[in-house]
Amino acid sequence: MKRMLFLGLVLVLIGIWFGLNIANDRPLLSNPFQEEEVREKARQKADELYERSKDLLLDQSKKK
């Protein structure tokens, strides 16, 4: 009896885990509770680097 209850609880938790990932268009084995701040911060840093690089190249071409 206890084994069936434990197995049922594990299956429900796995179902919730996969359901949250499917609902958020994420890979099945990813953490559904993780915020997407990391991806957004990386995108912002890449945009800043792009803008700075572009400005440096334009400044160098103006000096010549």
Give the pLDDT of the chain (64 residues) as one tens digit per residue.
Answer: 899 999 999 999 999 999 988 888 888 788 877 776 777 788 889 999 999 998 888 887 777 6
CB 21 within 8 A of CB 32: yes
pLDDT at residue 6 in the model: 95
pTM metric for this prediction: 0.51
pLDDT at residue 22 in the model: 87
Distance CA 26, CA 19 (A): 10
pLDDT at residue 35 in the model: 73
